Structure 1
């Protein structure tokens, strides 16, 4: 009894061990070979792919297999596939008989399930291995469905050369997706795993054709196809040399490679949000412009297009794809590359200043020669307007007004705003950039820039959707692959930029003349309304154009990846034409809705653009951001006293109050007036004082344009080695007045009408005194650097 019990227990234990061994004999993951990185367009078509790390073209396992391939491979390899449990006893019996008769291996009798096991194990083909494959094939059938098994086979079978899997084979041999292959093409691929060496350029084509045709006849016999289809399929050519795979978005593919771990995506294949048709058109547009620009040694160009509604990337061209010309650095993804933004941040400053109550849309901003702590910005045209409306300064991309605005707003505040908006390349303290921040003194990526503008567009678009509230998620970066996106609904009352400031900014950005159209585009109803901004970096190294509508954001960069500057590499000439060619490929849509509840109607001085003060006479009602109520009142309209004829200014010392005319007058500071009246013929200068009237120092009759009070200047050497000179420049309200110049209390010269003076003072601190013929004085100090100390 005890002996029988022992035998029973040992038998059970052996059975349990064998059962456990059977159950755990199959690895949790059959195939561990590296796969190619594959990126598909939103419609599922292949955009780009790269070879796997082991040198094989092996796509990740597909979700489904074309029915044609299933029919072909089952007919060719395992016609009772759906009726066995891993081993086909009839096929094995037939194989044994054939092998014994031939005294060698002429038939294997392996089922598709057994072949999947063999492909996953890569062991030598012996009798014992064959038996083990049968056991594992049975285990495979218990774990996987028939569809999953045939999918595993199609994804991992060898198709000749370094091609593994049906999908890779379809693209390498036919240049198309497997779903589009004909019966003849699919039959050709179906016979390859059995004899992968048959695909060899210029060889074995006759044997391959015979095998394919035999399979087509078998398909007819099994009634998968009719005889006519088989006959026509036999006329099709077989593949020769493998074809290159599409490379329509290679830089996005590389981005996916680099970010896959961070994105926590397990597979090496993604279906992107890229619009294939648009991507191909954009590639063509950029190729055309690149061919033109390369004549000027401008070798690289990139663009990014975002769909605002979905918050996704619909076109991603990081550079012109030129793998055969590595010296052009076309492999560099310029969408991710930090570059100087030129003037493309100016709209963000304009919006920020309105949002925070510093300016109104048309507030006058100084545009005069400026030196701030040794920094002297220049306008692109090297001219000055004296004063210009903030929106016009933005549309004309004037540098000095932008610097003056940033000086008022404070670069530290703007620096913090940019970081919150998503500009992630500001890795130095704010003081490192200073006022140059607004003129491209920092670096940005096209990715951050486009996403920041998309956040602004989304915020404005959602004005009605969120009932005037704000969703911080609007500023989240765009996605470039399809995902189950969930949007947080944590609405807030305040935002980085309010609806009204964004709306006013986009309106200002729309008022720019488009390149090549000479303004005539406004006459065509088919033209899109586009808010846009260009930018050019210092040294002509980067040309930018960013444009937006309620539906799309388009960003274009032109330049050299190695940073080499080129003459003519400016935003308006190189990047803007590309931008508008791209917009012609995008559907037209409505313009932004006016966020009326976020705008307030106030009285604004027409001439100055400021909130109207008591002395403003020409008023307009204007819708401005609510924060506009906090802005200063007009500082340029002042009450002056004229004689009874209105020809002279007077005081109560020379004219009775009863005889005076009291009139509001638009008065700019002398330096601003000096340039403003040149470009504004309707500007009225102040009348002179009546003889015998004391000015009493009123109205600042003189102003030093250069150098400013407290400035530090450096006098370089001339070409002949002699010490150079600095040119002092002053403005006087009375153009015919004389100015007597004194340096360190010593008289130097007299100027009339045109008040400029070239001097060469020694290094050190100097006092400059200006006296006009009426005794008005202006005293300022400046410091001249010593060359040796500067070094």
Structure 2
């Protein structure tokens, strides 16, 4: 009977405990923890974790997600020993502290110490209770619930990320960056104490508004830490000397358009419940700041509504280190929110290096192959040069470095626009054509659209053995590469763009070793400059995002100076080095006009000797003459009596001569001494075949002196080309002056005194030229 009476209290205690446990389970189910779903607004950081742009949370708060390991141990020491020394030992509530707080309240009639633990403060942050006894009870119950469900580490993480720090700033990392301009990992003793005190009264203690009140609260924390022996008296004394200086909270706006692009990509890639709060970019904040400052410094030189875009990519891993989609993100007048890194625009002449590389790989040319820079018609398409002048015979290297249009169109016509566009697309450079249009010869002059991003990825091939790559903006984006050209072609084209591509005349480009190319779209709408170094590929675009022309704005005078300044500001990349010349590339002497090696050319056929870069030791011959069949080596017959050209049927004693002919389009541009030695003489009267009818200029005699008529400021003459077939092109000192139909007069105006060579030729290659003089023109008043 006695044993039964002893057992009853234990049964009663067990029943009460079970009942309380069941009650706790029911309450826990009915009132689940209000854990935050939106941990923080998105933060885009650079490759070192430095913030580039911060977005507020759904409720409009600024938070920067942080882990315990990323916070200075000094802050954790200050927080734990000031707020809750027994944090790691109590179950969420410290009964001793609560009893002490209650006794002080009853004794003094006011709150002396709160008695709240860190867990209770987290409970108040998650579900703010009313400032009543019932509210305090709810806070205690929530604290116990937190300890039931979460570890101490998880509870501390909630505090680190959600503690109120004044205004819309929450969490120690955001507060440290907003007020102090540094990450929480770099806090000093004084700064750690300041941020530990701030949540006590975040509005009243904001260091940017009330530095004196903040300093007093900080010193209170320091005194507590000294009293508990956490920090030495000397450390605390030194910390007290430090002034409280804080900047007003403001958003970071480095690389705003790149950050927005990453934010949208992160939202598309993840479900709402799994959205990222920190997105790591490949950008470098320091380099990004330099680029943005350089763009801002140039705004005064740009007309209204003109913007600029810059992309800097590291060659080794395709990582984008700087990304400026507009000149000034704060200037809406310059279409600040339009990202011109991704915009599709006409690339002008920036595609020419890829065309010449393709021609090298296909064995059509070597670096000194003879090309014709003359007025030509390609099925009705008649390209001209940017300077409206023509140079006659030019090499591949000269044509590319000087960005001549006619030789490029000639090469594209031989390769095929479709094939050219397909090979570019396979390497990641897709060209957008107007609706319903197919790739055509205008592609090489900007007839298709592409983006700065795609151009930079393609130009990287020049420094990476021919491998183009897609620029990587996120650290999680895998590398994507594709072959655009062979290593040998890439090396030759880069050598041309860097210094002229002349093995016999090396070009010293200084320590930068920059290979660069400019481009200007039709109507001065887009100015481009793209450059390649051992370490980086850099692209620059200047223009109006709405496509309005900017007369006088072209790549060489607007984009190229900025490109060179950017290259000078770029830091060296450890381990980056210049690739050696590939074994497939060798230097060899070649001869014009045939284009073959000097060793394979007869002495009399080597009119001009040059040194070229060859691929695989092969010297392709000069491209076939479009206007003369039978090749450039031709047998001509001369009359031994007067040396004129004849046919065997016309002169029985005619003597054959094997000669190397220049392409017919180039004969009008030959130096007179070269022409006298190597161009066959004119036909003897009555001996020219019918197909060889010559063209003759009439209306002005050789050696004429032209003077302006009385009262006129210009000299004027009407000339006509007889014997022409098709359109007649008229050139004044090599510069295209206009065109006319056969037999129709063409009026020329001269506004300067001096000697002039007037040349006319037709689509069949027939030509004539007249040397004359202009005088009597008075200078303008």
Normalised-by-shorter TM-score class: 0.7 to 0.9
Matched residue SS, 1:380: coil
Q: CA deviation at 1:643?
A: 4.3
Aligned mate of 1:209, from 205, 215, 223: 215
Aligned pair partner of 1:335 in 315, 333, 341: 341
Q: For residues 224 and 178 of structure 1, do their structure 2 counterparts lie closer, same or farther at Cα, with a shift above 3 Å needed?
A: same
Superposed CA offset, 1:46-90 (max 9, x none) = 333343443322222345221121112112211211222322222
Query: Which residue pairs with 2:682 in the alignment?
Result: 688
* Structure 2: distance between partners of 1:370 and 1:169: 68
Rounded to whole Å, the distance in 1 between the matches of 2:618 and 2:30 is: 73
Flag the 1:527–1:210 CA change in 2: closer, same or farther, 3 A.
Answer: closer
Counterpart Cα distance in 2 of 1:52 and 1:679: 79
**Bigger mean CA deviation after superposition, 599-608 or 407-416:** 599-608
Q: Does structure 2 retain, via aligned residues, the 8 Å contact 1:279–1:314? A: yes
The equivalent of 1:158 in structure 2 is 164
Q: 1 CA distance for matches of 2:115 and 2:720? A: 97
Contact (CA 8 Å) 1:306, 1:312: kept in 2 or not?
yes
Aligned match for 2:643, one of 641, 647, 653: 647
Q: 1:730 maps to which residue? A: 728
The superposition leaves residues 570-591 of structure 1 with CA deviations (integer Å, 9 ceiling, x where unpaired) of 1111111111222223439643
Alignment-derived partner of residue 582 in structure 2? 595
State the alpha-carbon separation in 2 of the partners of residues 749 and 151 from structure 1: 88
SS in 2 for 1:193: helix
Question: Residue in 2 aligned with 1:454?
Answer: 460
Matched-pair contact (CA < 8 Å) for 1:703–1:730:
no
Paired position in structure 1 for 2:543: 559
**Residues 300-339 of structure 1, C-alpha deviation per residue, up to 9 Å, x if partnerless?**
222111111122112222233352x322223332212222
How many Å separate the matches in 2 of 1:771 and 1:549? 46
Q: Is 1:39 paired with 2:44? A: yes
User: Gapped runs of 5+ residues in structure 2?
Assistant: 1-13, 625-630, 698-718, 734-738, 748-756, 769-781
Residue of structure 2 equivalent to 1:379: 385
2: CA distance between counterparts of 1:675 and 1:668? 11
In structure 1, C-alpha distance between the alignment counterparts of 2:174 and 2:87, rounded to whole Å: 24
The answer to whether residue 394 in structure 2 is matched with residue 388 in structure 1 is yes
Tell whether the 8 Å contact from 1:425 to 1:444 is kept in structure 2 after alignment: yes
Decide whether the 8 Å contact of 2:728 with 2:741 is kept in 1: no
Following superposition of structure 1 onto structure 2, how do residues 485-504 of structure 1 map, counting pairs within 5 Å? 495-504=483-492
Tell me how far apart the structure 2 counterparts of residues 748 and 321 of structure 1 sit (CA, whole Å). 55
Give the distance between the partners of 2:392 and 2:35, measured in 1 at CA: 75
Provide the rounded CA distance (Å) in 1 between the counterparts of 2:677 and 2:531. Answer: 35
Cα distance, 1:380 vs structure 2: 0.6
Per the alignment, do residues 523 and 363 of structure 1 end up closer, same or farther by CA in structure 2, a change over 3 Å counting?
Answer: closer
Alignment partner of 2:531: what SS?
A: strand
Pair 661,149 (structure 1): closer, same or farther in 2 beyond 3 Å: same
SS in structure 2 of the partner of residue 539 of structure 1: helix
Task: Report if the CA contact (8 A) 2:372-2:394 is conserved.
Answer: yes
Q: CA separation in 2, counterparts of 1:66 and 1:742?
A: 81
Q: Is the 8 A contact 1:611 1:633 kept in 2?
A: no
TM-fit CA distance, 1:120: 2.5
Report the secondary structure of 1:377's partner residue. coil
Q: Which residue of 2 aligns with 1:354?
A: 360
1:305-316 alignment to 2 at 5 Å?
305-316=312-323
> How far apart in 2 are the matches of 1:409 and 1:423?
18
Partner residue of 1:478 out of 471, 475, 482: 471
Q: Give structure 1 stretches of 5+ with no counterpart.
A: 1-7, 461-473, 489-493, 514-519, 705-724, 736-740, 758-766, 774-791
Q: Is the 8 A contact 1:454 1:553 kept in 2?
A: yes
Q: Does 1:269 align with 2:275?
A: no
- Are 1:326 and 2:332 matched, yes or no? yes
Write the mapping of 1:34-73 to structure 2, written as runs, cut at 5 A: 35-62=40-67, 64-73=70-79
Partner of 1:710: none
Identify if the C-alpha distance between structure 1 residues 654 and 486 changes in structure 2 by more than 3 Å, giving closer, same or farther. Answer: closer
- C-alpha distance in 2, partners of 1:527/1:312? 23
Counterpart for residue 7 of structure 2: none
Shift of 1:153: 0.7
8 A contact 2:720–2:746 mirrored in 1: no
Moved more, 407-416 or 529-538: 407-416
Q: 1:609 aligns with which of 595, 614, 635?
A: 595
SS state at 2:192 partner: helix
CA distance, structure 2, for counterparts of residue 91 and residue 229 of structure 1: 28
Higher mean alpha-carbon deviation, 208-217 vs 222-231, is at 222-231
- Segment drifting more, 184-193 vs 126-135: 126-135
Q: 2:40 touches 2:64 (CA, 8 Å); kept in 1?
A: yes
* Equivalent residue, structure 1, for 2:495: 507
Contact 1:360 1:610 (C-alpha < 8 Å) held by counterparts: no
Task: Describe the SS at the equivalent of 1:80.
Answer: coil
Distance in 2 (alpha carbons) for counterparts of 1:692 and 1:726: 23
2:122 corresponds to:
116
What's the CA shift for 1:565? Answer: 2.7
For 2:513, the equivalent position in structure 1 comes to 529
| 1:682-707 deviation digits (Å, cap 9, x = unpaired) | 88432123455344535x75599xxx
Give distance in 2, aligned partners of 1:553 and 1:576. 14
Change (3 A) 1:185 1:9: closer
Report if aligned partners of 2:595, 2:619 keep a CA contact under 8 Å in 1: no
Deviation of residue 220 (structure 1)? 0.8
Does 2:92 align with 1:86? yes
Distance 1:455 1:135, change over 3 A: farther
- Structure 2 distance, partners of 1:632, 1:522, is 26
Task: Give the direction of change, closer, same or farther, for the CA distance of 1:750–1:96 in structure 2 (3 Å limit).
Answer: closer
Superposition CA RMSD, Å: 4.5
Distance, in Å, in 2 between the alignment partners of 1:133 and 1:319 is 50
Match of 1:190 among 174, 188, 196: 196
Question: What does residue 665 of structure 1 align with?
Answer: 660
Change (3 A) 1:403 1:683: farther
Q: How many residues align?
A: 696
State the Cα deviation string for residues 280-303 of structure 1 (Å, max 9, x = none): 333333333333x23x44742221
2: CA distance, partners of 1:172 / 1:633: 66
CA pair 770-18 structure 1, distance change in 2 beyond 3 A: closer
Structure 2 CA distance for aligned equivalents of residues 132 and 189 of structure 1: 27
**Aligned equivalent of 1:288:** 297
Shift of residue 546 of structure 1? 0.5
- Counterpart in the other structure of 2:432: 426
Match status 1:568 vs 2:561: no
**Higher mean displacement: 49-58 or 544-553:** 49-58
Q: 2:643 touches 2:681 (CA, 8 Å); kept in 1?
A: yes
Q: Distance in 1 between matches of 2:740 and 2:154?
A: 94
Partner residue in 1 for 2:178: 172
Looking at structure 2, the residues matched to 432 and 121 of structure 1 have their Cα atoms a distance apart, in angstroms, of 64
Cα distance in 2 between the residues matched to 1:537 and 1:750: 31
Secondary structure of the corresponding residue to residue 35 of structure 1:
coil
Structure 2 contact 534–577 (Cα < 8 Å) conserved: yes
Tell me how far 1:639 sits from its aligned partner.
3.1
**2:529 alignment partner in structure 1:** 545
TM-score by length of 1: 0.76
Q: CA deviation at 1:407?
A: 2.1
Give CA deviations for 1:123-156 in whole Å, capped at 9, x if unaligned: 5456556555545544544655434432321111
- Structure 2 counterpart of 1:674: 668
Between the aligned partners of 2:52 and 2:765, the Cα distance in structure 1 is 71
Distance 1:690 1:649, change over 3 A: same
